[in-house]
A and B are shown apart, each in its own frame.
Chain A
Amino acid sequence: MIVETGHYALVLAFALALVQGTIPLWGSLAGDRALMAVAAPASIMQFLLTALSFGALTYAYVVSDFSLVNVVENSHSLKPLVYKISGVWGNHEGSMLLWVLILALFGALVALRARRMPDDLAASVLAVQAWISGAFLLFILLTSNPFARIATPPMEGRDLNPILQDPGLAIHPPLLYLGYVGFSITFSFAAAALINGRIDAQWARWVRPWTLIAWMFLTIGIAMGSYWAYYTLGWGGFWFWDPVENASLMPWLAGTALLHSALVMEKRDALKVWTIFLAILAFSLSLLGTFLVRSGVLTSVHSFASDPRRGVFILAILVFFIGGSLALFALRASTLKQGGIFAPVSREGALVLNNLLLTSSCATVFIGTLYPLALEALTDAKISVGPPFFNFTVGLLFLPIFLFMPLGQMLAWKRGRLLGAAQRLTFAVAIALVAGLFLAAANGEPAGAAALAGLAMFVIVGAFVDVAGRVTGGGFSLALMARRAAGLPLSAYGTALAHAGMGLTLFGIAATGWGVERVISMRAGDTAALGPFTVTLDDLSQRQGPNYRETVGAMTLRSDGVEIGRVNPSRKFYTSRQMTTTDAGLKTISLGQVHIVMPEQNPDGSVDVRMYWKPYVALIWLGALLMFLGGGVSLADRRLRIGVAKRAQPRVRGPAPLPAE
């Protein structure tokens, strides 16, 4: 009964989405308050129904109800509880249900804040959100129903894909979806603004928290995914430029651009059309990512036909929402009032540059990801666009981003002084140079790694120069500095933290150049050198897990003969899927990591061991964590802002702005 109740709740949620998508929109266009008031309660109800449905599916997984096809195909009664629960979204149907649950969650959160929003904006936003929910609910119900039943249930399920039986699955997809789906709200806001024909600073203010939340979760979601791939796939890499990864990177790039352009819009009432466009773009790219991953286009263009209904359905959703919003955009964009004017050298100008570079890298990733697919579809020629292409092009576009990041923070709104900003950064430049030289001396070749690490230091230190300058601006008395520090807006700290986080990630990436890799065959008792350490394989033993057998290698890590830690890489064999996975043994040594996997076990009793020493590698993910934190700090800043120009210096005569003094 619980299962069928969940099923009915899902159908009802779809029916409610139809109502929620229509009546408030009608009310908003007709100026009818009563009709608009439907939006908020309906959104909350929509969330409750979806949550009920998700809960019912989770229940079926927890009690191993094998009368559901979805549970049979992805669960096993012996699986640990946490993987039974995470298995709910470890498959196509369940993950789509999680997707609509998060869609509904965002709708409900907006609904809870709707009291303080202009009612026509809230009504239109929630109506558009309902259209998105409705489309995906119908997709689930008709082509990927997780509640499909089997008349004669088997006694055992086929188990979850072993690679997914990992804490990573419990964390990574929900976070990533919070990010992906979070951009649905900014999309809904953009569509609502176009429908209502009003886009202004107030709009930007209402969108800001949602953009930030979506960006934060997308950042951390991508980082978690990358860490997961790093420790389970056993290749020691953290980013593969795999199409699925690119699918999440594209919305991140567009979303980061959106975050910055919305700032200009909020403070200066400028860049409106562009901001709306980015909001549409960010969500369109999220949808595209979903389409690429879900339709099977990615593994091969031809497997598209293996489940044509799903692929075609998502394609239809994609065309409807992207096409519809772009059509609306084309129709309305020309009527939007343009706002504030600014000089090229100004905070706004820096943010425009940031936007240009970010969207260009986004376009590059887009081309690199889709071109091979398009080419294969048209000519059957298989080409692969690999890491060298992406590293070169995206790297080239990101270099100026890193160079200008601290500079942009220094510039004033409306018009700034490039030289003054640069002067204030001399300290950061000096530290970057020293750090680069020091690292080059300490770690040696390649020089590129040291140069990049120096650039990272510039970004990190530069991120705090502005805040430091404002804290110490009144003199170095401790009490005064503390007072000034407390008086600074939280968003200033948020910016500094997020930018520094980006710098840390860059540092981690730069340091991969100093990594050491060894692939050898070892027997119990063997010792091998790895960079500054030695690794001894003490013992190989068998262990029985709940639904797998594993071979565990007990290894001791020594530095100059002194034991500094133990590492236990393992190979797990899952009986019901007849699959083997490798778990990397990791040991973190002051920001660096020793990463050991056993990809192969030989008949003669030895094992193949792949070992890496990766200095500073943890910074890649710590940086993302810091970006997340920075977003959170910024989110906590609820002030309204208006960009204030520094009083014009007599010798800088930019184009005279509107009456600012």
Chain B
Amino acid sequence: MIWLVFAFLTAAAAMSVLAPLARAGRRTGGLSRRDADLDFYNAELAGIARDLERNLISPADAESAKAEAARRLIGGADPQAKAPEAGSRVARSVAALASIVVLGAVGLGLYGYLGQPAFPDQPLMARKTAPPDRMDMMAAVAKIEAHLERNPDDGQGRDIIAPVYMRLGRYTDAADAWGHAIRILGSTPQRETWRGEALTMAAQGKVTPDALAAFQRALALEPSAPQARFYVGLAAEQDADAPRAIDVWSKLLADYPPDAPWAEMVRQRLTALGAAPAAQPGPASPAGEAIAAMPGAERDAAIRAMVDGLAARLAQNGGDEEGWLRLVRAYSVLKEPAKAQAALADARRELAQTPAALDRLDALARELGLGS
């Protein structure tokens, strides 16, 4: 359908060029120079006559003006100039052909490069009334927002929309939504932490006093909450209170297994602050303790066996996101970058359907310095 419209437009444009070329024989355009000069002279004479009639100029002035007009007529005429002809048939054909080629090639070529003919109009009203299964996420957000406007005390709705806001980068809205959720459903460590995080993101990564208060409320409810503790450390760092930041983060690392998803980041922060890299805390599981107790070579072999087991399991069941992350990290720790790369590629293929997992893989690859 749209191509019909385009074809019609192109034809109309072409006609505007071809029609005058086709009517070559007859005079359709402007006047020839000679006619125009004569017209101009006659118009000048008429103007002088009218002025004379109205008594605007004296008869003598009228004569002098007429003389000047005549002088211009003669002066302007170029004796060699000949009236334009209809021109040769060849020139016309070349012009016609060239115009068609230019209109077609430039029009379609440039549009093909720039345009998106299959992209329909999307007026807002039509999108708002579209059936829900065809609604995009933005429409869903708008629907929830409208619902919340009517039911401002729906805490669950706030809980649902807040993470969506975070993903959309609407941090202030996210913080607001969690604020409402806390007001309606009560304070939990998770909600307080998320709210603090949203406030921090809204302030471009600066832990504001508001955000810090939220994290502290979360810690009052659950003193071990790792995210909140991390941000409390970050606040200290931003306040240039390095010793306190080091203290908070070191304790945080000590309380959790070394392969916690955030542990590496905290370690890097600590190193950046000039703190001695935190002592690797002992492994947390009984099996780990057993491995740690083995002599060097045996320990390596045991670890390799575990890693191979993990790899085999993942080859069977590729959906285990945490498993992939562990595997890549393990290869990297064992100084086998080729295998780490291969595992990373496998993981990306297996987890291609879950963008969040891909993000984490990318983050890990960056952290470990594995080019992607």
Provided the pairs A31-B84, A38-B21, A659-B67 are in contact, do residues A202 and B139 lie with their beta carbons within 8 angstroms?
A: no
Provided the pairs A11-B111, A31-B82 are in contact, do residues A18 and B28 lie with their beta carbons within 8 angstroms?
A: no
Asked if residues B56 and A489 are in contact (CB atoms below 8 Å), the reply is yes
What's the nearest-Cβ distance from chain B to residue A306, in Å? 20
Please pick, from A20, A41, A639, A647, the residue contacting B58 in the complex, using a CB distance under 8 A: A647
Asked if residues A12 and B103 are in contact (CB atoms below 8 Å), the reply is yes
Whether, in the assembled complex, A478 has its beta carbon less than 8 Å from a beta carbon of chain B, the answer is no
Whether, in the assembled complex, A123 has its beta carbon less than 8 Å from a beta carbon of chain B, the answer is yes
CB contacts (< 8 Å) of B13 on chain A: these are 12, 15-16, 45, 49
Please pick, from A32, A60, A121, A661, the residue contacting B86 in the complex, using a CB distance under 8 A: A32
Asked if residues A15 and B110 are in contact (CB atoms below 8 Å), the reply is yes
CB contacts (< 8 Å) of B37 on chain A: these are 118, 202
Asked if residues B72 and A201 are in contact (CB atoms below 8 Å), the reply is yes
The complex places the Cα of A63 from the Cα of B124 at a distance, in Å, of 6
Whether, in the assembled complex, B338 has its beta carbon less than 8 Å from a beta carbon of chain A, the answer is no
Please pick, from A8, A38, A122, the residue contacting B20 in the complex, using a CB distance under 8 A: A38
The complex places the Cα of A118 from the Cα of B103 at a distance, in Å, of 28
Provided the pairs A34-B92, A118-B31, A487-B56 are in contact, do residues A19 and B110 lie with their beta carbons within 8 angstroms?
A: no
CB contacts (< 8 Å) of A647 on chain B: these are 58, 60-61
Asked if residues A123 and B29 are in contact (CB atoms below 8 Å), the reply is yes
Interface class of chain B by DSSP? helix
Nearest B-chain residue to A2, judged by Cβ? B121
Nearest B-chain residue to A41, judged by Cβ? B16
CB contacts (< 8 Å) of A26 on chain B: these are 91, 95
Whether, in the assembled complex, B5 has its beta carbon less than 8 Å from a beta carbon of chain A, the answer is yes
Asked if residues A65 and B122 are in contact (CB atoms below 8 Å), the reply is yes
Nearest A-chain residue to B71, judged by Cβ? A658
The complex places the Cα of A4 from the Cα of B55 at a distance, in Å, of 62
The complex places the Cα of A149 from the Cα of B123 at a distance, in Å, of 13
The complex places the Cα of A200 from the Cα of B44 at a distance, in Å, of 14
Whether, in the assembled complex, B32 has its beta carbon less than 8 Å from a beta carbon of chain A, the answer is yes
Please pick, from B64, B103, B127, the residue contacting A155 in the complex, using a CB distance under 8 A: B127
Please pick, from A23, A116, A198, the residue contacting B31 in the complex, using a CB distance under 8 A: A116
Whether, in the assembled complex, B286 has its beta carbon less than 8 Å from a beta carbon of chain A, the answer is no
What's the nearest-Cβ distance from chain B to residue A485, in Å? 11
Provided the pairs A12-B103, A12-B107 are in contact, do residues A122 and B29 lie with their beta carbons within 8 angstroms?
A: yes
Asked if residues A77 and B124 are in contact (CB atoms below 8 Å), the reply is yes
CB contacts (< 8 Å) of B6 on chain A: these are 5, 8
CB contacts (< 8 Å) of B106 on chain A: these are 11, 14-15, 18
Nearest B-chain residue to A3, judged by Cβ? B121
Whether, in the assembled complex, A42 has its beta carbon less than 8 Å from a beta carbon of chain B, the answer is yes
Asked if residues B102 and A19 are in contact (CB atoms below 8 Å), the reply is yes
Whether, in the assembled complex, B284 has its beta carbon less than 8 Å from a beta carbon of chain A, the answer is no
CB contacts (< 8 Å) of B61 on chain A: these are 644-645, 647
Asked if residues B122 and A12 are in contact (CB atoms below 8 Å), the reply is no
The complex places the Cα of A36 from the Cα of B57 at a distance, in Å, of 40
Give 1 or 0 for each of A559-584: 1 = CB within 8 Å of chain B CB: 00000000000000000000000000
CB contacts (< 8 Å) of A36 on chain B: these are 29-30, 84
The complex places the Cα of A8 from the Cα of B39 at a distance, in Å, of 42
Please pick, from A34, A64, A487, the residue contacting B55 in the complex, using a CB distance under 8 A: A487
Asked if residues A661 and B60 are in contact (CB atoms below 8 Å), the reply is yes
Whether, in the assembled complex, A641 has its beta carbon less than 8 Å from a beta carbon of chain B, the answer is yes
Chain B stretch 1-51: residues in CB contact (< 8 A) with chain A = 1-2, 5-6, 9-10, 12-13, 16-17, 19-21, 23-24, 27-33, 36-37, 39-40, 43-44, 46-48, 50-51
CB contacts (< 8 Å) of A15 on chain B: these are 13, 102-103, 106-107, 110
The complex places the Cα of A44 from the Cα of B121 at a distance, in Å, of 28
Interface class of chain A by DSSP? helix
Chain A stretch 240-271: residues in CB contact (< 8 A) with chain B = 269
Whether, in the assembled complex, A610 has its beta carbon less than 8 Å from a beta carbon of chain B, the answer is no
Whether, in the assembled complex, A35 has its beta carbon less than 8 Å from a beta carbon of chain B, the answer is yes
Chain B stretch 206-249: residues in CB contact (< 8 A) with chain A = none
Asked if residues A640 and B43 are in contact (CB atoms below 8 Å), the reply is yes
Please pick, from B12, B20, B48, B92, the residue contacting A642 in the complex, using a CB distance under 8 A: B48
Stretch from B112-120, B158-166, B340-348 contacting the other chain: B112-120
Provided the pairs A35-B95, A489-B56 are in contact, do residues A49 and B1 lie with their beta carbons within 8 angstroms?
A: no
Asked if residues A1 and B121 are in contact (CB atoms below 8 Å), the reply is yes
B-side interface residues, number (CB < 8 Å): 85
Whether, in the assembled complex, A114 has its beta carbon less than 8 Å from a beta carbon of chain B, the answer is yes
Provided the pairs A7-B115, A487-B54 are in contact, do residues A641 and B47 lie with their beta carbons within 8 angstroms?
A: yes
What's the nearest-Cβ distance from chain B to residue A411, in Å? 16
Whether, in the assembled complex, B153 has its beta carbon less than 8 Å from a beta carbon of chain A, the answer is no
Whether, in the assembled complex, B125 has its beta carbon less than 8 Å from a beta carbon of chain A, the answer is yes
Provided the pairs A42-B16, A641-B47 are in contact, do residues A4 and B28 lie with their beta carbons within 8 angstroms?
A: no
Please pick, from A5, A12, A121, the residue contacting B30 in the complex, using a CB distance under 8 A: A121
CB contacts (< 8 Å) of B50 on chain A: these are 639
Whether, in the assembled complex, A502 has its beta carbon less than 8 Å from a beta carbon of chain B, the answer is no
CB contacts (< 8 Å) of A32 on chain B: these are 84-88, 91
The complex places the Cα of A64 from the Cα of B124 at a distance, in Å, of 5
Asked if residues B5 and A5 are in contact (CB atoms below 8 Å), the reply is yes
CB contacts (< 8 Å) of B29 on chain A: these are 33, 36-37, 39-40, 114-115, 119, 122-123
What's the nearest-Cβ distance from chain A to residue B51, in Å? 8
Asked if residues B44 and A60 are in contact (CB atoms below 8 Å), the reply is no
Asked if residues B117 and A67 are in contact (CB atoms below 8 Å), the reply is no
CB contacts (< 8 Å) of A5 on chain B: these are 2, 5-6, 9
Asked if residues A116 and B30 are in contact (CB atoms below 8 Å), the reply is yes
Whether, in the assembled complex, A9 has its beta carbon less than 8 Å from a beta carbon of chain B, the answer is yes
The complex places the Cα of A483 from the Cα of B274 at a distance, in Å, of 99
What's the nearest-Cβ distance from chain B to residue A192, in Å? 12
Whether, in the assembled complex, B282 has its beta carbon less than 8 Å from a beta carbon of chain A, the answer is no
Nearest B-chain residue to A661, judged by Cβ? B64
Asked if residues A33 and B87 are in contact (CB atoms below 8 Å), the reply is yes
Whether, in the assembled complex, A462 has its beta carbon less than 8 Å from a beta carbon of chain B, the answer is no
Whether, in the assembled complex, A152 has its beta carbon less than 8 Å from a beta carbon of chain B, the answer is yes
Asked if residues A67 and B119 are in contact (CB atoms below 8 Å), the reply is yes
Nearest B-chain residue to A114, judged by Cβ? B30
Asked if residues A152 and B115 are in contact (CB atoms below 8 Å), the reply is no
CB contacts (< 8 Å) of A37 on chain B: these are 20-21, 23-24, 28-29
The complex places the Cα of A18 from the Cα of B100 at a distance, in Å, of 11
Give 1 or 0 for each of A630-661: 1 = CB within 8 Å of chain B CB: 00000000011110110100000000000111
Extra A-B contacts (8), CB below 8 Å, given A2-B121, A489-B56: A12-B9, A12-B103, A35-B95, A115-B31, A120-B33, A121-B36, A155-B127, A642-B47
A-B complex: 8 closest residue pairs judged by Cβ atoms: A32-B87, A34-B24, A119-B30, A63-B123, A45-B16, A118-B36, A37-B29, A37-B20
- Can you list 12 contacts pairing A with B, beta carbon distance less than 8 Å? A12-B103, A30-B91, A37-B20, A37-B29, A42-B17, A120-B84, A121-B36, A141-B114, A153-B136, A200-B75, A639-B47, A639-B50
Please give the residue numbers on chain B whose beta carbons come within 8 Å of chain A beta carbons, in ascending order.
1-2, 5-6, 9-10, 12-13, 16-17, 19-21, 23-24, 27-33, 36-37, 39-40, 43-44, 46-48, 50-51, 54-58, 60-62, 64-65, 67-69, 72, 75-76, 82, 84-88, 91-92, 95, 98-99, 102-103, 106-107, 110-111, 114-117, 119-125, 127-128, 136-139, 141-142
